[in-house]
Amino acid sequence: MNSWLNPPGADPLVRVSHLRLDIPVRGEPRRVLHDVSFEVGAGEALGLVGESGSGKSMTTRVLMRLLPHGAATDGDVLFDGTSVTGMDRRALRRYRSSEVAMIYQDPRAAINPVSTVGAFLTEALREAKVSRKEAEERAVALLREVGITDAPRRMRQYPHQLSGGLLQRVMIASAMLTKPRLLIADEPTTALDVTTQEEVMAILDEQRRERGLALVFITHDLDLAAAVTDRIAVMYAGTVLETAASANLHETALHPYTVGLLASRPSTVDVKRLWAIPGRPVSAFEAGPGCVFADRCPFAQDRCGTERPALRTVDDHQVACHRAEELRGRITYETGGDADRAHDEQTEPV
């Protein structure tokens, strides 16, 4: 087995290895994830980054074991050494209520619109037989910790009376209530303005550090992920293409897709024609037998179309590219002319 998946010493809190997921679409199984491997240490923050349809949300649903009916998985998902896919009802209930917590992009979909913030926050505690008075005190204290000063008033309000940013803070508070060991945040700030995003991210980061929580942070924004996580896993077409330390990712990225993604983002500090990866992102089920990025990769060779590269260690990264060593530091994309147009013509729409 890959040695990086099994480092000597401590077990990671989360270990996902060679995860595969099929979901029935009109009665036929459709491949959604085909080889997802990553680890998250206790107290560590991992960014799962990728474009739409790459499988980020589906990966978290496997972690939470919240899968659509008829879904089939393969590979291992371990939490603290225990298989999440193998948990019985009771173990699963305990796992979901006290070990992991989740925050979504749209908090309004995760909160009952006709119950107050206070009722929402104290519900789980009351179920755990905490007295009403104590539950309310703990909720108010937490709201203050996430920067909500007029907490008692907010407790009596309904979700529609709160802005998106404020509601997302309530969600963070709610996630902290049960003292989980792992927090999963699926694009928690995508719907927010940048200034509100900064605010919410600062609070999330602060809470996580103070409590030593592990975090799986999902976003399509590589720069945002790099700023708030320790390591990053780049996903594409239902697989992880590269994992690396978040610091200096711009300088160290090895996979042609990671490099392209970093270069695609327009900079706020200088103007230059963007490097554009040709074509469009594909889903797992559309990928050919070889490298999932082959039809967009300017460096693809014959073997890339037939042999799927496995995730392997190069420098201190894990990278799934046949040519990682030879391309190191030499990757550039076409910036002029018709290269991007010409390529786009070859791709098929979904």
Partner 1 sequence: MSELLGLENLRKVFPVRAAAGEPAGELVAVDDVSFTLPPGGSLAVVGESGSGKTTVARMVAGLETPTSGRITLDGEPREAARAGRGARKARARQIQMVFQDPYTSLDAKQTIEAAIEELLRAHFDWDADRRRERVAQLLAQVGLDKRQGGARPRALSGGQRQRAAIARALALEPRLLILDEAVAALDVSVQAQIINLLADLRAETGVAYLFISHDLGVVRQISDDCVVMHRGRVVEAGRTTTVLDDPQDPYTRRLLSAVPRPGWVPRRRATSGASA
Ligand X SMILES: Nc1ncnc2c1ncn2[C@@H]1O[C@H](COP(=O)(O)OP(=O)(O)OP(=O)(O)O)[C@@H](O)[C@H]1O
> 161 to 190, contacts with partner 1 by CB under 8 A?
161-163, 166, 169
The token pair at 300 is: 């693809």
Contact string (CB under 8 A) for partner 1, positions 25-64, x = contact: --------------------------xx------------
23: left (phi over 0), alpha (psi -120 to 50) or beta: beta
Q: For every residue of 41-64, which 3-state class applies, written as one string? A: CCCCEEEEECCCCCCHHHHHHHHH
Q: Is 84 a residue that touches ligand SF4 (CB under 6 A)?
A: no
Where does this chain touch ligand SF4 (CB under 6 A) — which range of 18-26, 48-56, 132-140, 317-325?
Answer: 317-325
55 binds, among ligand SF4, ligand X, Mg ion, none (CB under 5 to 8 A by kind): ligand X
Are 143 and 151 a contacting pair, CB within 8 Å? Answer: yes
Q: How far is the CB of 189 from partner 1 (least distance, A)?
A: 10
Binding-site member from 268, 326, 329, 330 for partner 1 (CB under 8 A): 268
How many beta carbons lie within 10 A of that of residue 194, not counting itself?
Answer: 9
Q: How far is the CB of 58 from partner 1 (least distance, A)?
A: 17
CA distance 39 to 154: 38
Q: Which is nearer to Mg ion, 193 or 338 (CB)?
A: 193
- Residue 203 has phi, psi (to 5 degrees) of -70, -45
How many beta carbons lie within 10 A of that of residue 67, not counting itself?
Answer: 16
Residues 258-287: b if buried by 16+ CB within 10 A, e if exposed: bbbbbbeeeeeeeeeeebbbbbbbbbbbbb
Q: Is 323 a residue that touches ligand SF4 (CB under 6 A)?
A: yes
Q: How far is the CB of 275 from ligand SF4 (least distance, A)?
A: 15
Binding-site member from 167, 170, 201, 321 for ligand SF4 (CB under 6 A): 321
Q: How far is the CB of 308 from ligand SF4 (least distance, A)?
A: 9
Q: Is 56 a residue that touches ligand X (CB under 6 A)?
A: yes
Pairing of strands 182-186, 72-79: unpaired
Q: Is 197 a residue that touches partner 1 (CB under 8 A)?
A: yes
Binding-site member from 4, 18, 41, 57 for Mg ion (CB under 5 A): 57
* Residues within the interface to ligand SF4 (CB under 6 A): 256, 291, 293-294, 297, 299-300, 304, 309, 321-323
